[in-house]
Structures are given as C-alpha cells and as structure tokens.
Amino acid sequence: MKLSERLAAIPNLAPNAPAVEFCGTTFTWRDIGETANRVRVLLDEAGVAPSAPVGWIARNGPEAVAAILGILQAERFVSPINPLQPPSKLADEVASLRLAAVVGSPADWAIAGLADAVAGVGGVGLEVEFPSGRVELRAGLERVGPGPHQSPMHGYAIERMTSGTTGAPKRFPVLTASLEQGLQAAAPSRDVARAAADHRLLAAQDTAILHNPFAHSSGLMGIVTALYFARPISLHEKFDPLTWAADVGKYKPKSASLVPAMINMVLDAEIPKEQLASLLAIRTGTAPLDPERQRAFEASYGIPVLIDYGASEFIGGITGWTLRDHREWGTAKLGSVGRPKPGVGVRIIDPESGQEAAVGVVGRLEAKADRFGPDWVNTTDLACVDEDGFVFIRGRADEAINRGGFKILPDKVAEILRLHPAVQDALVLGVKHPRLGQTPIAVIELRKGTPKPDKVELDGIVRQYLPAYFAPEAYEYLESLPRTPSLKIARASVRAEFADRYEFT
C-alpha cells in the first residue's frame, strides 16, 4: 500500500478517538481527517499538479498537523517553511522556492509579504483554521498561475531541513520509498508495524508528546511518524520541562525523546523522580550531550539515556544505543553515540591519505545504507570507532582549529569548560591569528547567580584534561547563548555578536 493510501486510511481507523491535544482542546481523528481531506480536494481543484512542491508553514498547531496529512494524502511534495523567522526573510524564502501552493493558518497568512510572495510566482494559497477545521482558498490565490514554479518532485515526499547551526538551513529532498523505510525502521515493535500495516488501531498506542518545532527536521519526523502509526498526539508550541513532565505523568510513555539542552532543562527544573517513573529510556541526539550531565541525569532519575547519531540527509539514525548495550557498556563507553544501526555501515577515513583509518584513530566519518543509496556518504564530523564498534564523535571537520600546526577540536574544549561549576554552556570558535593562523576563543553562558571565573581559572581546568595548546586565547560572556529552533547553539549568531572584535575562520 502506498504512503498516501495508508495516511488516507489512518483517520478512519477510530474516527472518534483523540488525535491531537493542543492548548487544552482535543481534536478527534475525524476532525483532523476531514480537514486533511479538504486540503487534498482543494489542491486538486486549484490545479496543483501531482508531486508539485507545496509550502507547509510549519507552526506547531493542529492546523499544521491536518495540513501535512492532506498534502501527503494528495501525493504532493512537502516543503517546510519556518514561521519563526523574520517576516521579510520568510517572504523572500517563499518567493525563492517558487512553490505551486502554500498552506498555512490565519496567523501565518497575517505575516507581512507572504501573500504577495505567493502571488508573485503564481501560487495557490490555502488557509486552515482550528478549532472550526475550516479550509479555504485565499482570495486572489485560488488558481495556479504560469509560474515559474519548481519542477514536480516525482518519487519524493518531503524536504528535510538542517538545524541552521552554522548558517542558513539546507534542504534535502527525501524519496517516498526512503521515508517509508525510515519510518518502518522506527517502528516501536513488530506488533506495531504489523498492526499499522493491517490498518488496525492499536489499543495500547503510546501518546506522542511533540514539542520540537515542526520546522526542524526532528519535529517534522516526529509528526510524520505519529501520523504513520496513528498515534494520538499531545502537541506543544515549544518545550517546557514542567509541561513535558506533566505529560509524562499523564500519558505514561515508555520512552521519550529530548535534545541535550532539554535534558539540562529537566535537570535544572528538579522534576520529581516519581513523575517520570513510566520512562524506561530517554533518547537524545542532534547535538553533543555532556557526559557529566548524562551521568547526573541517570543518577537522578535512574533512566538510561540512549544517544542516537544521524543527520537530515540520512533520513534517520546512523548509530545509536540499545538498552542492552547500555546495561553492558553504559559506564565504559560513556560519551559514545553507540554502534551502527542494522543495515548501516560506518567507516573512518584519514583526511590526509583518504584511506580507512585504524581502530581508535580520529578521521572523517562516512556512512552507507540502502535507504539513502548505494554509495558511502561523507559527513563533516570527525570521529573514531573503538575495538567494540562504538563510535565517538570528536567534532566537526569544518570547525577544527589549526593552531600553528596543532589541531584543536572545539567541541572537546567546550565539553571540558562545562565541568566548571560556573559554566552553564560554552561555545569554542576559531579566530584568525597573525602568527599561528588560528587560535580558539570561548564564549560562555554562566549559571545564574555565579561569579565570573577569570582566565587563569578556566585555563587551569582545560589544561587539567587537555594539552596546553587547547586553552582558549580569550573568554567572552553572554547572558544566554543564542539557539536554533532545535535548541542547538547558533554559531552564526554568536559570530555576528563578536564580529567587531574578532575575525572568525
């Protein structure tokens, strides 16, 4: 059965069952399904061609859930638009994408310049509103114009976006077949996969607690996965540790997914242990997790933290921890991102020779899996693999700092700086140096109420664990480090903050 047919059948499995809870209101599968069907019908009536790219304004809300369901049912290509960017930037992005249609909520269509951007490329505008479930064509945007439009994306389903950590997010189209393979690999169990394939609603389906921004790859996959497996959804506009913990206490899921910054927020909020008692594991990824914070979380809650590693272009995880591996290796391999997942090959390439590196040697990580093609795919990550097959990420190849011939891995320095009791978080960047070529500086976010440590003190903790040349040339401070929607530190924004003092490399 095709993806579109499966998603069309999902709302009819149990029409009166809860589908989405948002801001205290619950919408049934009938509510979501009827609105999605109206989106599908209007795309057809407006002349939007099969496989045409359709802009999906990815604002966390029931409108976006129904919209993406309808777009995928209609076999159009989902092109996410981040609603949290400045209005002028959003309008420019929509114009540059040359979309055949854009679907959004009333709040989205109130964004200055959006309607003009859609009209400028002859696009169709659809407005979806809840709680009414209303779907209408926007006045003046009822029919597809001559374009120019993007070419139809035959065989593709969605476009994933990188986090935008180092610059503007990049877009990766995902084949429908690859998406289905990735979703099936994410099946919670064989029983879930079998039942969903047979179109029977599982009585014991866990509620999906969704709080990652839909505009980010993890949020997009979260909503697509929940729809694919007919999971009821508790949806939030953003992550709040107290609200999340209340959801865990209410729905009692067996596992949850939190990015490292969210794990830190839960720890800092001192959530009662009993509120998280249903959780057998926490999955995390998208950014490095400080091993000491992982140790502290596991000690506080008795919940294993299972780290996954992947990237948007890989359509799912590349490596990860299992509960069995955690029981056997959790302490000995702390800091690893786990072992390659079934069907995935991983190797480390020496950047100088281009040959495969020996066990334990740091080099550029490459991965290979059927779901993203027959070839080895380069990453920008530096890593090593130990004798037991565990992968350790050591930093980004494009962020490595060459200090007079000595290589420095910024993420490793930041990890050590976080050991200082006054340091909430840290980012290490390379700057130009007239004699050495590059040197590192550190930008630090302090814990609230703690005094600022001096350079001697911070240099001392770095040199306690790393060679002396790893110590930053200077330390700068921000009240809070800027972050992307996925809560990664926004490196480009930090560079802009200090552009008048340093020339970054």
Q: What tens digit of pLDDT does each residue of 403-427 get?
A: 987 888 898 899 999 999 999 999 9
- 293 in a structural domain: no
- Predicted confidence (pLDDT) at residue 190 exceeds the cutoff of 50: no
- Predicted confidence (pLDDT) at residue 261 exceeds the cutoff of 60: yes
499-502-505 Cα angle (round to 5):
95
Domain tally, the chain: 2
pLDDT of residue 194: 45
- 109 in a structural domain: yes
The residue out of 131, 155, 183 marking a domain boundary is 183
Provide the edge-to-edge strand list for the sheet that holds 363-369: 344-349, 363-369, 377-385, 391-396
What one-character-per-residue DSSP string does 75-93 give? TPEEEEE-TTS-HHHHHHH
- 445 in a structural domain: yes
- Predicted confidence (pLDDT) at residue 65 exceeds the cutoff of 90: yes
pLDDT digits (tens, 9 = 90+) for 286-317: 777 888 889 999 999 999 999 998 866 666 68
Query: 8, exposed or middle or buried, with CB in 10 Å at 0-12, 13-18, 19+?
Result: buried
Q: How far is CA 185 from CA 342, 343, 380, in A?
A: 9, 10, 25
- Predicted confidence (pLDDT) at residue 187 exceeds the cutoff of 70: no
- 99 in a structural domain: yes
- Dist. CA 222–CA 68, nearest whole Å: 12
- 47 in a structural domain: yes
- 338 in a structural domain: no
Beta strands in 147-292 (DSSP E): 156-161, 171-175, 208-210, 233-235, 255-257, 281-284
Rounded percentage of the chain residues whose pLDDT exceeds 90: 67
The residue out of 166, 183, 200 marking a domain boundary is 183
HSE at residue 369, side-chain half, CA atoms within 13 A, is 21
CATH code: domain of residue 30: 3.40.50.980
- 505 in a structural domain: no
Query: 389, exposed or middle or buried, with CB in 10 Å at 0-12, 13-18, 19+?
Result: middle
- Dist. CA 487–CA 99, nearest whole Å: 28
Helices (H) and strands (E) in the chain, counts: 16, 25
Q: What is the mean pLDDT of residues 23-47?
A: 96
Of the listed ranges 22-31, 41-50, 355-364, the least confidently predicted one is: 355-364
pLDDT of residue 166: 44
The whole domain housing 60 covers 3-7+24-183
The residue out of 140, 157, 183 marking a domain boundary is 183
53-287-499 Cα angle (round to 5):
85
pLDDT of residue 186: 63
- 429 in a structural domain: yes
- Predicted confidence (pLDDT) at residue 465 exceeds the cutoff of 50: yes
CATH code: domain of residue 419: 3.30.300.30
Tokens of 121: 């490329």
